Structure 1
Amino acid sequence: MQPIAFGPRVIFELPFLDGIPVTETVVNTWIIMVVLVVLSILGTRSFEKVPRGRQNVTELVVEMLNKLTVQTMGEDKKNFAPYMNTLFILLLFMNLLGLIGLRPPTADLNTTMALAIMTFVLIHASGIRKKGIGGYFKGLTEPFVFLLPMNIMSELATPISLSFRLFGNIVGGVIVISLAYGGLASLGEMIGLSALPIFQGGAPVILHAYFDIFAGVLQSFIFAMLTMVFVSLAME
């Protein structure tokens, strides 16, 4: 595995508008989309009254995620479950992509900021739908009117904090793992084992286990949970 650069590489350019660069973030996201579509089709095909095999797995995953949404947001907000489930699964696949040697799309601030802006829009749209425009904006003046500027700044900071938290954790792991591979490759060259990547083959396993699996799953969970909490608070 070659060391990974800080920013995503440009894979190719679309031949119009003076060439639109398509980075590995976009390509890897396409790969994940295809995988998720295929898994969704396979997992929901030929459902039976008595579940078995892949239907059991599909129903178990959906039921667990639905329960998480209901427990976090309340029974009256269970209609948010499809979006929250999709968000969590998408983030999970993105964060785990490093396990197969591809750069996680969430290591690109463009991806995390786009997801955070979607959450930001959902938060305020849900609040306005629940309280009405007047009631929602009145909430920004509580507990005191003079706190309105600070409350607005707090709301605007939400997508920034969400995006940078996810991006920072994932890109940090990418950089550390990249440096580890580069350092181990140099060590192999120093002792004359450059043709046999012995160190790269085993030593970074612990790093992958922590940054790709543990941190990847945790950050997916945190982002989805914060989305649910913020939406719930906006509707209270």
Structure 2
Amino acid sequence: MAKLSPRLRTVNKSLPPYTLNEFGPDFPYILGREIVYLLASKGKGVLEGSEWEEIFAHCIGADWKPSNVGLDDVVLGNTAWGAKTVKSGVKDFRELKKIRLISGRNSIVYSYGGIIDTSADPNEVGGQVLEIWNERVSSIREKYKHLRTVVLVKSNDLSQVAVFEFDTIRYDPELFDFSWNTNGNLVGFDRGTDNKRFVWQPHGSQFTIIEEVPKCSLILKLKQPEVLDKAKILDAIGFDKSWVTVEKRE
């Protein structure tokens, strides 16, 4: 008699709000409107990291919850995002290849004790730097099933932006080779290749991850709006001196 395989009940998987990098048909227009308004109200192409966090949360209907860790600034259901911005001087964002993301301060002195020594085994130090990152990722994954990083690449005047996201992952130190460069910084490469993945600066402990820009990135080109007239806006809302209370310390 042939051995039968048992029939199992269907298990509902905990799915993210949407497939990676498939932001939805309205997303680019909501994002474009937010950036154009920012340009019109500020009068200059400046978009800070915290502003991008809030804008992205609005675009996908999520909650903006600024985090000290920086990996879960935006939350929607079972998914959290860390939001990053980076400038690029590339003329056509379709030609973007790689970007550098500052990803926190990984202090091996604080986490492991001892001192910074650039004569130490670079692979040992690199392993410590990655483990600090890994612990940070693990602490967030205990709370959220899915963890992503969403990146806004911006031109100097915000006339062009690119948006993409990727899963935020742990890194196995065994898969990378580390060495000290001539500036005294630690650099990490995919093992056996010259593909640079990490840079760690001992003084300041800044940790940078080098990411490839996916071909499916969303690219927006934006018309520059006229700057809003400050005096007209204040007049429209009825501003006068009574809105300001002046106090002095005795």
User: If the length of structure 2 is used for normalisation, what is the TM-score?
Assistant: 0.26
Greater Rg by CA: 2
User: If the length of structure 1 is used for normalisation, what is the TM-score?
Assistant: 0.27
Q: Which has the higher strand share?
A: 2
